[in-house]
Structures are given as C-alpha cells and as structure tokens.
C-alpha cells in the first residue's frame, strides 16, 4: 500500500463513526453472529474467527447474494497499524480473507468492493 493510500485509509478509518456503528447505521447482529452494516441497501455481515475475516453478502431484499462475481478489499486498522486484506469469493454468498493476526475490540474494518450484482459498496465496522 502506498503512503498516500495508507494516509487516506487512516483518515477514513479515524473519521468513521464510534463503536458499534456501521455506515452511519447502528450495527446489529446478523444470522451468523457477526456485525451487520447496511451498505447502499445491502446488508453485509462481518464475522471474524481467529485470523479468518468473512463477509456474508445479502441483496437489498435481505436474501443471500451470490458471491461468484463479487470482489473486494478490507482495510483494517488495529494497534496503530493499517493493513489491507484481499477478499476472495466463497460460495454461496461469502467473501473471505486472512488477517495477519486476530483482531481485538476497537479495531476498525472498512470493506470496499463490488457485489455479484455489480453494485459497488463500502461498509464500515468497529469491533466491540
């Protein structure tokens, strides 16, 4: 990641809403137990298990959205460090990436990507 992108990512993460807020909407728990952000009408659930970061994609109707053509990147800010995680599709409706280390409460995650239906979305999370 270039210094300019790092700086922009840090600003983006630093100015995102407080704990348990995602994309300006209070975060709620999804069916898999993760935080849900509504991004351009699409519920996107973030679930962390160790070093595995998983995003469950849903359409505007709330039903699972196929991830076959989806792609994206997660920018993670934790412990004063910023990292970028490439996400790859995993059927039926997931994007998955691997973190360098598990994340603690207070870490911030910003997802930027394209859903399988072509919508470009951004979702922001602050871990509880």
What does the pLDDT look like over 65-124, one tens digit per residue? 999 999 999 999 999 999 999 999 999 999 999 999 999 999 999 999 999 889 999 999
Q: Which of 59, 100, 57 is nearest to 81 (CA)?
A: 100
Q: Which of 125, 17, 121 is nearest to 60 (CA)?
A: 121
Position 27 scores a pLDDT of: 61
pLDDT confidence bin for 13, thresholds 50/70/90: very low
Computed over every residue of the chain, the mean pLDDT equals: 84
Residue % of the chain over a pLDDT of 90: 73
Position 10 scores a pLDDT of: 42
CB 95 within 8 A of CB 89: yes
- Domain layout of the chain by residue ranges: 3-126
pLDDT confidence bin for 25, thresholds 50/70/90: low
Scanning the chain, the segments in alpha helix (DSSP H) are 3-14
CB 35 within 8 A of CB 45: yes
Q: Does domain 3-126 have CATH number 1.10.3470?
A: no
Place of tokens 């991830």: 67
- CA gap 8, 42 in Å, rounded: 24
pLDDT confidence bin for 28, thresholds 50/70/90: confident
């Amino acid at each position: 990641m270039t210094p300019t992108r790092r700086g922009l990512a840090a600003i983006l993460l630093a100015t995102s809403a407080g704990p348990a807020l995602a994309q300006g909407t209070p975060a709620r728990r999804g069916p898999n137990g993760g935080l849900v952000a509504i991004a351009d009408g699409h519920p996107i659930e973030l679930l962390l298990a160790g070093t595995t970061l998983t995003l469950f994609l849903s359409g505007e109707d709330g039903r699972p959205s196929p991830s076959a053509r989806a792609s994206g990147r997660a920018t993670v800010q934790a412990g004063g460090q910023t990292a970028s995680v490439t996400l790859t599709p995993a059927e039926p409706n997931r994007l998955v990436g691997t973190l360098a280390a598990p994340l603690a409460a207070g870490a911030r995650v910003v997802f930027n990507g394209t859903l399988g239906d072509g919508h470009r979305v951004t979702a922001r999370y602050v871990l509880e």
